[in-house]
Amino acid sequence: MAAPIPAGSQRKFGPKWELKYAVAVTERDQLTQIPTKAVCLMCQAFEREEAVGSKRKKTSRVRSFSAPWRPDNMKRHMEQQHPLRWEEYQKLTDGEKRVYFSAREVMAMSGGDDAVPSLVVPPMVSEPTPSAEAYALAAQYRAFLVDKDIVEELIAGVLFQTTNDEYRNAWNVPLTFTLLEEASAALNNADIDVNESRYVARVESLLKFNMCLNQVVPLLQKTAEETGMDASLSGSSFTEQQLACLCRVACAVNFQTLKDTLRRVWAFTIALEQGNDAASPYLDVRVRFERDAQLLDFHLVSIPIREDSPQIIRHQSELVVKCLDIVAPAWKAQLIGVTTSDSFAKMPSCSRVIVNRLAQSCVASFYCEWGLLSQLELAIQESFNGLCNQRFMAGLTSLVGHFRRQRALIREMNGEMCPKFEDGQWRSVASVLKWFTVHRARLFNCVQDTQPPKAAGKEWWVTVIAVNGIMERVNVALTMLRGPSAALGSARREYVAKLVTDLAVVTGTLGPLAVSQQSNGHNIEFGDFSMSREAAISFLKEQGSFVMNAVNELEVNFPACCQAAVESTANFAVSVIARTHQIMLECDENSNSTASLNTAMPPFLPQALCKTRNQLFATHLQAQRVRLLQHYSADQIEQIEDQHRMLRTSYQLDEHKQYYKPDSIVLCLAYEGAEGFEYYNQE
């Protein structure tokens, strides 16, 4: 049995097929009025023509067509069953085709010889009948109550107003909002407080309001024309002016819905997502929060990305703040985190400015996925940009392609292939360098055996292995910064300081140096740090016998190549150390640039909460105490901490129950701990 054809891939019945192929629609879907069956008018009006020499007896059955629609079948039927009539029909104009079958019906009623009077021919072009559901949906209307500040400050003052107080994209259409005092009598609702500062927005048709705005005009106009609803509904057309009014109402209603919902939550996050599905790139600002065990995602506003104008970027950040001031008046105590769709290195400037602007206004620090951690990654990326010059990348590209083509090498390594890399991404390049380092002996022998063109020399391999040694320590620091122990700002600073110290000790780098200690022409310097040639060679030889032998050979036979390996390695090491040290200074607790950002997310999953130490959990509560006090009392906050302590106790007792049998007190604690965890989640 053949698989059914997906609904999205089926061809729709063409609006001109009835005239073109002499068919008439006889059945339609009751709700959508889409044609489901069509019949051949030639079969109904005339007998089928008998072909000369045909072995089959002609039939009087009326041919019908249905989905999947095949116009070639309609044409083939006409050519084979009605060749003479079809040839005559094709020569007619559209106007003559419309009356062709009705004229034949009149001839049959008057006693014509070549027609079949017992059949009633359907109209040439069928008219669909609007269903009751379509009429009901189109006729529905609704009135929305919208706060006054949303209408006047956001709708009229921001979204549809230019700098000279002229409404943008409005075509001089007045705002479709009425003050509640003026509309209260018409609403006739006893529950409405006429003293509220609100506007009433009326929508005459929910069919128009609920449709996608970029489709509403052409689709509704076409639907009205094809179904005949334009004569029955108020107004025979839907204009762009009406669309502008609907846009205003839709924006106002969405803002009001978001505002009403945010009143009932204690915290929410902002998501900054870069979009490219428009004529120009834009930044989509979204609000996300949990409500009734569901994660809700609301669109707040979209702003164009203009990297060339700092003034516009500052204005955009103030626009986001203004939207939050109106939609979430308590946002400075509610905003708990900011997420971005891009890494710090790829993030547009407007995203960074917005995050910094929000951080300055919040009453407490919020969690952000880019902060100290992303700044460190950006510093590493900049150091890799200096390392990956044309010569280094030429050797890397050549060897990666060569190793991926060596089938014998792949079989020898049990199918393991050389990883690809993405140019400009330090993580991708570092993963390839690590693979080269792990398999250095086997890969170097493969190069000597195959002699690929433009193969890199030993000095290149020395640099690769040395850089990988530096990155091993950097990756350890990055892992620690992502862990739960990095929640405190002091802990993050300690990890960064330890990374600077470790790299300086391992590589023999000196610093930070005073101005009088710098400017030694024989050393490699970057910022306040310096590395001598002797220290660089010593660091290289610490990487193992492979590098030691290569360096000794290069020093004797190829001193220029040895110097190139020393300079490239030293430049990379000193740049990483200097940039990391600068980040350490900027992450001081008194620094305004990072004091309001926390990079490490707190534990929130049940299995993580059970394992979280009481001290760390209390630290997170203290960090968010200002926000919690907006919705909870001090006693309730203490109760949450006590419930977590009981939960952790019950978890620890459950882990060790195999060593002893718990008594009734332990079981009671376990039960209360589980109940406390449920309460904490609900709160």
> Between the CA of residue 478 and those of 331, 365, 369, 432, what are the distances in Å?
31, 21, 13, 18
The confidence band for 601, taking pLDDT boundaries of 50, 70 and 90, is: low
**Which DSSP string do the residues of 414-483 spell out, in sequence order?**
TT--PPP--TT-HHHHHHHHHHHHHTHHHHHHHHHHH--TT---HHHHHHHHHHHHHHHHHHHHHHHHHS
346-378 per-position pLDDT tens digit? 677 888 888 888 888 888 777 775 556 777 888
H helix or E strand, kind and range, residue 366: strand 366-368
Q: Distance between CA 73 and CA 88 in Å, rounded?
A: 19
Confidence of residue 464 (pLDDT cuts 50, 70, 90): very high
Q: What is the model's pLDDT at position 487? A: 52
Nearest in space to 153 (alpha carbons), one of 310, 327, 297, 315: 327
pLDDT in tens, 33-92: 788 899 998 888 877 776 555 555 566 788 899 888 888 989 999 898 888 889 889 888
Q: Tell me the pLDDT tens digit for each residue of 436-453.
A: 999 998 998 898 888 888
Q: pLDDT of 520-547, one tens digit each? A: 667 888 888 999 999 999 999 999 999 9
Query: In sequence order, which ranges of 189-288 are alpha helices (DSSP H)?
Result: 206-210, 213-227, 240-262
Give me the long-range contacts of 206-215 (CB less than 8 A, separation at least 24). 206/137, 206/140, 206/141, 206/142, 207/137, 207/138, 207/140, 208/238, 208/242, 208/246, 209/142, 209/246, 209/249, 209/250, 213/243, 213/246, 213/247, 213/250
Name the range with the highest mean pLDDT among 291-295, 574-578, 610-614: 574-578
Angle, helix 634-655 to helix 664-682, in steps of 10 degrees:
130
Distance of CA 252 to the CA centre of its chain: 24
pLDDT tens-place string over residues 210-255? 555 545 555 555 555 555 545 444 444 556 666 667 777 778 888 8
Distance CA 25, CA 88 (A): 22
| Cα dihedral sign, 83-86-90-92 | positive
Answer with the residue of higher pLDDT: 489 or 647: 647
Q: Which of 104-113, 382-391, 487-496 has the lowest mean pLDDT?
A: 104-113
* Distance from C-alpha of 504 to C-alpha of 498, rounded to nearest angstrom: 10
Cα separation, 112 vs 254, in Å, equals 67
